[in-house]
Every structure is written in C-alpha cells, then in structure tokens.
Amino acid sequence: MKTFFKRLLLTLLVVLLILIATPFLFLQFGSESSATSAKMLLNAIAGYGIESPPAEVVEQRYKVPEGFSVSVYAASLGKIRFMHMTQQGDLIVSRPRSGDVLLLERDRDGDGYPDGQRTLLEGLVKPHGLDIADGWLYIAESTALGRVSFDEQDGQLTGEYQRIVEGLMDTGNHWTKTVGVGPDGWLYFTSGSTCNVCEEEDPQRATMMRVKLDGSELSIYATGLRNSVGFDWAPWDQSLYATDNGRDLLGDDFPPCELNKIERGGFYGWPYINGFSELDPDFGVGKDNLLSTSISPAHGFKAHNAPLGIRFLRHNVAPGFEKTALAALHGSWNRSERDGYKVVSLHWQEDGSIVEKDFLTGFLGKADVTGRPADVTESSDGSIYISDDYSGTIFRVVYGEQVKSSPAKIAAPVTVTIDPEQALAIYSDEQRQSLQQQGERLYQQYGCGNCHDPERATPMRPVRPLKDLAQRYTVTEIADFFLAPTPPMPVFPLNEQQREALSVYLYPR
C-alpha cells in the first residue's frame, strides 16, 4: 500500500510539474504554429505522424555539408524507429508502435531506392533496437531480448524467433530498448527511466546492461543513464559511447543532453546530478558525495535536443570525417523555442575534445516541422541512412555523387482503416454505455481535458487534440499505451478495467 501511494504521489507531482511548465510550452507553441505544435506533441505522446516530404521540399530546404547530397530513400513507412544495414545492403527497420520489423530490399538495379519491402517479423512487443551477429538477428523488444536465425545473403529468416532474455520492464515513460553487439562479443542493451526524474525501484531501469549472445550472465554494466537510446563503439579504440536525454522542466537551457563514454561499473549521475556535475534541485540535495564518483559527459548537446541514434562512420570517404560519429537529434518539446530536429556530426580532436557540427538540417522551419530524426546507419559503400519517425521517411546521404530526387518507389502509405462502430461491436449497448461513462469520469478525474480538449482546456494553455484515434489504433492498443506512455504524458494509476473504459470513451474521437 505504501508503494501504491508513493507512485500516486509521484504521478501527481509529475502532473503538477507539467502544469507549472505550461507558460513555457505556450511560449513555444504560439498561434502561428499551434497546429504543428499539437501534431508534434501527439507524435511524442502517441506516435502521431505526417506524410513524407516531397522531393522538391527536400531539395529546397534540406541541407548537408559541401560535397554531400541528400534524397528520400524510402517513404510512407509508418512509425519507423531504429535501423540496421546488412552486409549485403538490405535495410532492417523497427516499428515499435506496429509491433513489427520491416526489411527494405537492397538496391540491385542502382536507381537509388530499395527494390521492395516486406515484413520480417510481427506480433512483437514494441521492437526497437536491432543488430546482427554470428548468423542471428537480435531484436530488443520493450520487455525482452530476442533473436532469430537470419541469412544475410538472401535476407531471409531461417528459423523461429526465440526470446533469450525475458522479464524486462517497460512501464513508465522511456520504454524503448536498444541493443548492440560489442567488440568483445557480448550483447549490450539499454533501458530508460520510468519518469522524468525519480529514484527507481527497479535496478535495471536507467541503465546499460550486457549479456552473452545466448542470453546468459545478464548483468548491469553502467547506471545513472536517464534515457540512453543510442550507442556505438569508436572504431579507432573500441570505446563505447552512448547518447542520453537530460531531464525536463528546468528551463530552456538546462540541463544539457549528453554523450557519455561508457565504462564498466560507471555511474553517470541521474537522478542526482545533471550534465557537468550540477546537483539536481529536486533529488540532488545532500548528495554532494556523489559528485566525486559520477562520470561527466564526454560532450554536451544543447538542452532538450533529445539525441537518439548515434553511428560512427566506418566507410567514410569524405575529407574531415575521419574520426566522426553522426547523432540524430529528435528535437525539443520542453523549450520556449524549438531546437534540435537535425543530424549533427561529432568530430574527435587530437586532444580528445569533440566538435559538433550540423550535418543534415531542414526538418525545422520557422513555423513548421517536417521531420524528427531518430537513427543513423551506414552501408559498406559509405552511404548514410537516416530514419525520421515523424514522417515515416528514410533519407539517404552520399558523398561525391548526386543522388536521385524523384519520388521514392516504396509502398503506398501505411494506413489503418477501422470502422469504430464495428470495432466496438464486441460490447453490448449496455456494456459500451457503462464503459464510456466510467471512461468519461476518469478523463475528468485526471484532468485529461487540460491538455487534450479545446472546450475544457485551461485558458492560455496549448491544446493537443485527440483526433482520428480509430483510424490509427485499436481499443486494445490505446489501453496498452496507458501502461507506457511517451513523455510528456505521465503514467496514471489505472487498472486494466479503467484503461479499457478510458479507451472506449476516447476511441470514437
């Protein structure tokens, strides 16, 4: 019972912090771009997306360094996230919200686009990170690590999918898991925090872990990592680096997001220390003793830029990119002026310092956002691929040649057409009415209208309307979302029946 009230108190605290942050959000989401702002927050909360940008938009506003060129490689892929390029040139892509993994077939005809698209695996639990080793495709689900025998020559599965690590938790905000096989032959993976800032009860949250390739000898490798979504090893010395998202609701410019050099047994500060040895105002009081043991970042990104995927370039031929990694900055929500929404290059200097430069920009306009970079990968010919989970697009960046700019030949947009009445037909009229009434009470109890209902919203508050849910989700998918919402939405203490009731109430919208 004490644990329940502790979680309830924490939830109420998060809600209060969001309310306090409202003036900053309003400054960010002015009238000129209110529609775009609502869409972006829906992207953060529920994976809402927009259409892929047309070729002429990419040509006009997307910029890369001199000598490089950018084009749309694949479009209308839905809620894509992380990628892995096989040795033969097939691109494997995860879609956590859809529960599946796609394969974009290699470009055999040389026209600059994949030759086809097919589903490799489906029915997974929010698959995210991907890697290949010793003939196995490894997949990080939100609750497990799994693998399946995979033939890289023809891009085909050759066995049954098996989970080698189970029982991982995905409650709370940062439920994604990212996986990578290290130079030492171990499997590394990350698990983000349940919250913006709190003391975790589960020792596996806000950590990096590692396990042998068969799933044995699981251990925690590093701690104090709030939400390290991307990581990779520097090819020149095999050092492990991971991005990390700093906490929210401490103003526009604090704390910085981080790039950390990960050491075994290292503690990286969260929730007590932010950035470069700054004690947290909420949880750092009396924790001065931790300053001597906490490892500071190797590099600081601007606050709230939300660095996700990172990839060291191993096949690069461009001058000035010899010791370089590319990092995808997903973009801010907790700033009065948007920032991020680009891919940056990180250049390691002789003295060990890191210089950050813009690499792919144009996603962020004066009044609109056309994309949110999520991951970066590289093929053996040096081509760079960037996923955008806002528009469902994969971009290709190459050096020394002009890539094609005609519309990508990939499949039609991924859409879901569901008849709300048919989907709710499993309930009798009496059951449906009862659930909708209970759902409405819950909607009011937790003040959902403050953020989502234009008619009930607090004056001067930015509104994120919930529209067309039935066109994108089932009732069950909405109910499951309440278990692990994406920031800034907090986790509410709803039982299974309450989640179902709230979903039925919201569904016809």
**d(Cα 330, Cα 297) in Å, to the nearest integer?**
19
CATH fit for domain 55-399, picks 3.40.50.2300, 3.40.630.30, 3.20.20.70, 2.120.10.30: 2.120.10.30
327: enclosing H helix or E strand: strand 324-329
Contact 313, 359 (CB under 8 A): no
Q: Tell me the three state secondary structure of residue 35.
A: helix
49 alpha-carbon distance from chain centroid: 13
**d(Cα 409, Cα 390) in Å, to the nearest integer?**
19
Domain ranges of the chain: 2-47+416-506, 55-399
Contact 81, 387 (CB under 8 A): yes
Picking from 402, 494, 372, the residue whose alpha carbon sits closest to that of residue 445 is: 494
Secondary structure of 81-134 in the HEC alphabet?
A: CCEEECCCCCEEEEECCCCEEEEECCCCCCCCCCCCEEEEECCCCCCCCEEEEC
**d(Cα 462, Cα 143) in Å, to the nearest integer?**
34
Tokens linked to 408: 């990508």
148: enclosing H helix or E strand: strand 144-151
Identity (one letter) of the amino acid at 260? Answer: N
pLDDT in single tens digits along all 509 residues of the chain: 455 445 545 554 544 454 444 434 443 444 444 444 444 444 554 444 688 999 899 999 999 999 999 999 999 999 999 999 999 999 999 999 999 999 999 999 989 999 999 999 999 999 999 999 999 999 999 999 999 999 999 999 999 999 999 999 999 999 999 999 999 999 999 999 999 999 999 999 999 999 999 999 999 999 999 999 999 999 999 999 999 999 999 999 999 999 999 999 999 999 999 999 999 999 999 999 999 999 999 999 999 999 999 999 999 889 999 999 999 999 998 788 999 999 999 999 999 999 999 999 999 998 889 999 999 999 999 999 999 999 999 999 999 876 554 444 544 444 444 566 666 777 888 888 898 899 889 888 888 877 777 676 655 444 567 776 776 677 777 787 777 666 556 677 888 888 888 888 887 76
Task: For the beta carbon of residue 83, count every other beta carbon within 10 angstroms.
Answer: 23
Contact 357, 10 (CB under 8 A): no
Residue 172's alpha-carbon distances to 126, 198, 206, in angstroms, are 14, 11, 12
CA-CA-CA-CA torsion for 450, 453, 456, 457, nearest 10 degrees? 40
Tokens linked to 207: 């950590």
Residues in contact with 291: Cβ distance below 8 Å, sequence separation at least 6, in sequence order: 273, 277, 279
